[in-house]
Structure 1
């Protein structure tokens, strides 16, 4: 027997212990679970309301729509709980954190975290929740994903440069310092080497980011359609309409290209196929995603320098030998966990997994260079 489609309004609801039906009294375990669900729904509703207060227009309406949906879910648990719906427990820790961050920081990271929370809904495994509630939560994840994508695109250029810059500064300078430490040279030499690596790396990263982003923007400019079709249309030969070739080259079918070309020549007095005429000459601006070359260069320089400074700190404070190496590796390890977690948050992935991945890569590179430095030091000696 096939299961009902949750999206079908006529589909029967999942059996639930709803008010008005003759069912056995809820168990204490059920009551505790429902109270937790109710507390979480209230927290999510407040989160979306708080985010909506910072938005205008379409995004604000979408967030308020999500808050209203959480209210509906909240009412379901209230109806089941009755008098037990008062004096609720604290919501889940990450929902409390989300609400606090939403009021202070903004929406991009918050929406990425909310996306993970919506994706982890237990309703599809709980018979006390309706099938429509489980379907709502699945749709909410996609809504939040789409909203988070807007913010990710706005941040992608500068944020990418900042994360890569910080990560490269941490890993490359730690590897450089640890490698030099493995050779057995003095702390003064290691300190100068670390400072030189900081300056050289920061300048190199900034120059590389500037050239990369500027080149990408120039490539986008070269491929962006122009308005020449509008200027040339009045003088084209109707019987040999070259505009058809333009639109076919842009990916339209023969029929769609003919329609668009004839419209440009004013053969149609009305637009009988509006979907072909929705600003076809003005594609979405990809420059916003790429970002500014100066922003990328500045972010890369600053964050590389900050990252590269961290492994140098023990030597600046007078530490030497293996003690300095251990302190530098520990400081860099904490920073790598932070940068990895930030990437995980923004991408909607697990912050812990991303942080551990960054940590493993960074410390692995440092360990290899330390061994090579030790071998090189022994050979030279």
Structure 2
């Protein structure tokens, strides 16, 4: 072999850094494909087919890195921690939470700036992110009512009862008084949240119900005057143009006069709101759970500053947790959402604490 051929062969050999990077990409592609297969195993119909299609795409990316690695692929690397955790969540739980995490993972793909990845692979990852976003949005819609009640209930309980406990505790009142004040705040707030959520959901459902087409109106269709065709006015009122409304009305009447049943009225999409009782019970329970944390130190016999500090610490951790969950499910940065939640909660509690101090000093 000539010196020139030897030099060309050395240039074609990947560097150790490239090999390590390719192995990591290979491991991540295998892990992401497994995530989609685990999620597909928990679903049926179109969602299952879509997830299996994503898994096949990850297998194509996997083959790209196998081709580059050649014999070096025999020494596989471990996938990134986030990929392994995501795989465990997909195997264990599935659901919209895992889809939201998968969406974030696709959006963080490094292929756009990776010289050894093809432009098609980078484009694939972008499109995968949109596919997963669409799948996750279905789950978000299905859980929107319960999720809203959970987030609002827990956060209201955390913030309002922490503010109440800190405000009363700052006055120098005895621990027993603070405890019973916190328990009263828990019960009053939970009942108020439950009642308010029931009224809110029932009112919203009733408003939507009043906007649904009247099924009985279909029985009058055979008796309409074809030349006047006032049915077209119905479709124009629903947003169609005059031409579209005339055409649609003519088609409906032709169907009815041919002996077919009248078309079913369109359903209003109010199922996502949930029922009044389910929303009320959820809000009551979630508020009570959140409001319980600030009084836990007093339930276990702590008093004074130690009880106040522990209450604030427990609530702070809970606020960070709920903020992070909201961030993950909404596709946003979890840390930013967590810090925002913490800042709002602590800000409200700090105001009442300062007022409690001022009031206690004035009384003294």
- TM-score by length of structure 2 reads 0.93
Alignment of structure 1 residues 103-182 onto 2, 5 Å: 103-182=91-170
2:164 and 2:359 map into 1 onto residues whose CA distance is 13
Assess, with a 3 A threshold, how the Cα gap between structure 1 residues 40 and 280 changes in structure 2: closer, same or farther.
farther
Q: Deviations for 1:295-331, whole angstroms, at most 9, x for unmatched residues?
A: 1111111111111111101111111111110010001
Q: Deviations for 1:148-176, whole angstroms, at most 9, x for unmatched residues?
A: 11111111111210111111101000000
Aligned equivalent of 1:380? 363
Q: Which moved more, 1:170-179 or 1:282-291?
A: 282-291
1:127 and 1:330 map into 2 onto residues whose CA distance is 46
**Which one of the candidate residues 289, 297, 303 is aligned to 1:320?**
303
- 1:194 has 2:182 as partner: yes
2:121 and 2:309 map into 1 onto residues whose CA distance is 52
Q: Give the drift of 1:288.
A: 2.2
Aligned equivalent of 2:192? 204
**Which one of the candidate residues 86, 89, 98 is aligned to 1:98?**
86
Segments of structure 1 that go 5 or more residues without pairing to the other structure are 1-20, 271-278
Alignment of structure 1 residues 332-343 onto 2, 5 Å: 332-343=315-326
1:269 and 1:243 map into 2 onto residues whose CA distance is 14
**Which one of the candidate residues 215, 239, 248 is aligned to 1:227?**
215
Alignment of structure 1 residues 190-339 onto 2, 5 Å: 190-266=178-254, 282-283=265-266, 285-339=268-322
2:223 and 2:263 map into 1 onto residues whose CA distance is 21
* SS of 2:254 mapped into structure 1: coil
Q: Give the drift of 1:265.
A: 1.4
1:233 and 1:131 map into 2 onto residues whose CA distance is 57
* SS of 1:356 mapped into structure 2: helix
Aligned equivalent of 1:31? 19
Aligned equivalent of 2:60? 72
2:50 and 2:115 map into 1 onto residues whose CA distance is 28
* SS of 1:240 mapped into structure 2: coil
Q: Deviations for 1:139-197, whole angstroms, at most 9, x for unmatched residues?
A: 10111011111111111111210111111101000000000011111111111100000
Assess, with a 3 A threshold, how the Cα gap between structure 1 residues 29 and 283 changes in structure 2: closer, same or farther.
farther
Assess, with a 3 A threshold, how the Cα gap between structure 1 residues 72 and 178 changes in structure 2: closer, same or farther.
same
Aligned residues: 353
Cα-Cα RMSD: 1.9
Alignment of structure 1 residues 13-24 onto 2, 5 Å: 24=12
Aligned equivalent of 1:4? none
Q: Which moved more, 1:21-30 or 1:31-40?
A: 21-30
- TM-score by length of structure 1 reads 0.89
Segments of structure 2 that go 5 or more residues without pairing to the other structure are 1-8
1:280 and 1:188 map into 2 onto residues whose CA distance is 66
Q: Deviations for 1:333-363, whole angstroms, at most 9, x for unmatched residues?
A: 1111111111112112222221111111111
Q: Give the drift of 1:287.
A: 2.1
Q: Give the drift of 1:228.
A: 4.6
Is the Cα contact below 8 Å between 2:167 and 2:352 reproduced in 1? yes
1:354 and 1:75 map into 2 onto residues whose CA distance is 37
Larger helix fraction of residues: 2
Is the Cα contact below 8 Å between 1:262 and 1:268 reproduced in 2? no
Q: Give the drift of 1:24.
A: 2.7
Assess, with a 3 A threshold, how the Cα gap between structure 1 residues 234 and 189 changes in structure 2: closer, same or farther.
same
Assess, with a 3 A threshold, how the Cα gap between structure 1 residues 92 and 190 changes in structure 2: closer, same or farther.
same
Q: Deviations for 1:62-108, whole angstroms, at most 9, x for unmatched residues?
A: 00000000000000110011011122221111111111011111221
Aligned equivalent of 1:353? 336
